[in-house]
Structure 1
Amino acid sequence: GPIMLFHVFNFSQCVSHTFTTLYTGINGHTIAGIREFSAVTTLDGRQIDYYDSEIKELIPRQDWMKEFASTDTWKQDTEIRQQVQQIYKNNIHVLIERFNQSHGVHTYQRMYGCDWDDQTGASEGFNQYGYDGEDYVTLDVKLLRYMAAVPQGIITMLKWNNDRAQLELLRQYYQHECVHWLKQFLTSTENKTPELSLLQKNFSSPVECHITGFYPAAVTITWLKNGQEHYEDVDFGDLLPNMDGTFQKTVTLTVFPDEWKKNQYVCVVEHEGNTIQKILRKDEIKSNNSKFLIVWYSVFIVVILFRIFIILYVYMSFSDLSLN
């Protein structure tokens, strides 16, 4: 069955932060590279720790997480994941029978955590279980009641709703601990300032205000025309992840050069309380037309070589003639 994530991260909400743990159990794990159990914690979509059934250790995924790796909490989290690994192994076999399936490859997942708005202070918890990529049982965090998403989940729903001690632990987690750890990790993250470049393929192409290498993801990019916010002929690109966990984004301005020579256009970037900007001028633009130049130079060299070859050929021909 496909592995499916149930909670969508929304990077466009500038003040909202998301702290999530995802457990994935897979049976039929004899397939190369597939782990029987894995656990990953993310902060704003960025992986901060990792565990799987092969390494059996909790691994920090960010340099700033290493300071937490020596704490008692880290040791407890490692032990919890080792216990969950065994529970998931048993649960998958129960679910295979409950769904009346053959013993193929099946996945059982739990995704839990919280969203926190750093302006209003509002927080919201989530706790979802899935089987073979579909919702199975979901906890209504406000009501502290489980709800079955499929008929096969009713037995689980009734059993878990009767476990008052476990529900009380969940209440404590969502009211206090989840947001506490989210804030704790947020203060430890390394903010990275965006690098701003103005790019253009050739002199008549649109101008791209491109930023990259920034973290966290929340960012505002604005084009100003003569000091006023300018949205006409402006195209906002998607927020994209970089390999190192930082982000990049491009906002394109389509105006002809005579327009930005007559008017002042400025790209302004706001990130984590800092503002950087670049005025649209010829000397600020990095050209993307290097490939064109390479092709032009190549053609030029071929023509020169051809002419040299012709001269040599003529010279050699006359040399041959003179020998006779």
Structure 2
Amino acid sequence: MKWIVLLLLEICGAYAGTHKLQYFYTATSGTPNFPEFVTVGVVNDQQIDYYDSNIKRAVQKAQWISGAVDADYWNTNTQIYAGNEPSFKASLGILKSRFNQTEGVHTYQRMYGCEWDEETGATDGYDQFGYDGEDFISLDLKNLRYIAPVQQAFITKHKWDQNRALLENQKHYYTQICIDWLKKYVDYGKSTLKRTVPPSVSLLQKSPSSPVTCHATGFYPRSNMVFWRRDGEQVYEDVEHGEVLHNEDGTFQNSVHLTVKPEDLDSGRYECVVQLSGVQEDFVTKLERSVVKTNHGNTRRTNPGADGPEGSGSSGFIIGAVVGVLLLVAIVCGVVIWKKKKDAKKGFAQANTSDDGSNSSNNTPPKA
């Protein structure tokens, strides 16, 4: 599986009942205008911090965490990230040698974290490494061993599998430390992480011969379904689903495209349905020519449903930019606009950030 796809799916993969704490590390070479080392911490779909080799410090990204931790928390995270930086740079050099590469752009990436199902209590952890956009090595937490999908990773697998202290530390981190911190973060940010925001829905069509797009935007949480129905039954043929994308305000957007005949626009048989996690009622928009926004003279808004908000007001499609693999980890969660700091601090009790002598990100691997 391509790492660019994996990162997109994992960063944005939280769903109802399940919470995720994740860290993304990226070391690069051959990119003079990009930091050589970057880290991003994410809880569910919300970035909580950022570090890179240029600024040399951990920077808070989620305002809801500001009143819950003290200055020592950020100092410790800075030390953890700074401690990982030389190891990742060295590992990148090792892998370039193993792959017999000397020039060009290269990346060494790590994605690790844990999941907690609030409803069932089930937990899980994962630790995955990638090189130049491909899987390199990953932790099998259940059997406490590493899996090497490529020959160049066999040396690393052998070295790490023989390090019993490393494996036991990994088990302790993913089954206890990471889970404990995830629960803390969910509690700190519950007003943000557990909120529900209904979507605005628009029907869009570029030209009379183009598919009709049902575009839902401004909703939260990410977990949703957008689909077309005909005569009350979900339509699967002539339907293309889009990807869930981030909005700048921390909400999401999604779309589904339906190819229909011109006469079907006024048949009354079709309707777009948006289902949002945490909301029992569906948001239903009937397909009618009069409410379809087009590029040929009609810019009228749609009504998302009986109780839903008005349309987004955009005169065209909201298009998600294609982000390069080198920039993805640094910016995919960095455009969130939060409420004022004083609102985020309300109701928080300061955390004990030294419960076990480490922060949630303290899980440093050895060199490859």
Per the normalisation by structure 1, the TM-score is 0.69
Aligned residues between the structures: 287
Matched, 1:77 2:77: yes
Higher relative contact order (CA 8 A, sep 6+): 2
Of the three residues 20, 23, 26, the one matched with 1:21 is: 23
Matched, 1:135 2:135: yes
CA 1:155/1:252 → structure 2, altered by over 3 Å: closer, same or farther? closer
Report if the CA contact (8 A) 1:222-1:229 is conserved.
no
State how far apart, in whole Å, the 1-side matches of 2:140 and 2:100 are: 27
For residues 272-304 of structure 1, the C-alpha deviation after alignment (integer angstroms, 9 at most, x for no partner) is 23535356497x96442475269xxxxxxxxxx
State how far apart, in whole Å, the 2-side matches of 1:114 and 1:4 are: 20
The structure number with the bigger radius of gyration is 1
Aligned to 1:269: 275
Aligned to 1:110: 110
Matches within 5 A, 1:200-279: 209-221=214-226, 230-231=234-235, 235=239, 237-244=241-248, 245-251=250-256, 256=264, 259-260=267-268, 267=273, 269-273=275-279, 275=281, 277-278=283-284
Report if the CA contact (8 A) 2:128-2:137 is conserved.
yes
Matches within 5 A, 1:311-322: none
Aligned to 2:42: 42
Of the three residues 292, 297, 315, the one matched with 1:292 is: 297
RMSD between superposed Cα atoms in Å = 4.0
Aligned to 1:159: 159
Shift of 1:127: 1.0
Code of the aligned partner of 2:245: P
Report if the CA contact (8 A) 2:57-2:78 is conserved.
yes
State, as a whole percentage, how many aligned pairs show the same letter: 34
Which has more helix, going by share of residues?
1
CA 1:35/1:65 → structure 2, altered by over 3 Å: closer, same or farther? same
Per the normalisation by structure 2, the TM-score is 0.62
CA 1:98/1:35 → structure 2, altered by over 3 Å: closer, same or farther? same
In structure 2, list runs of 5 or more residues that go unmatched: 300-368
CA 1:200/1:73 → structure 2, altered by over 3 Å: closer, same or farther? closer
Shift of 1:25: 1.4
State how far apart, in whole Å, the 2-side matches of 1:108 and 1:264 are: 47
State how far apart, in whole Å, the 2-side matches of 1:102 and 1:225 are: 57
CA 1:124/1:150 → structure 2, altered by over 3 Å: closer, same or farther? same
For residues 170-190 of structure 1, the C-alpha deviation after alignment (integer angstroms, 9 at most, x for no partner) is 111111232333344345134
Shift of 1:212: 0.9
Aligned to 2:200: 196
Report if the CA contact (8 A) 1:192-1:213 is conserved.
no
State how far apart, in whole Å, the 2-side matches of 1:97 and 1:265 are: 56
SS at match of 1:292: coil
CA 1:192/1:157 → structure 2, altered by over 3 Å: closer, same or farther? same
Shift of 1:194: 2.5
State how far apart, in whole Å, the 2-side matches of 1:215 and 1:145 are: 37
State how far apart, in whole Å, the 1-side matches of 2:99 and 2:227 are: 52
CA 1:140/1:291 → structure 2, altered by over 3 Å: closer, same or farther? same
State how far apart, in whole Å, the 1-side matches of 2:264 and 2:120 are: 43
State how far apart, in whole Å, the 1-side matches of 2:200 and 2:78 are: 41
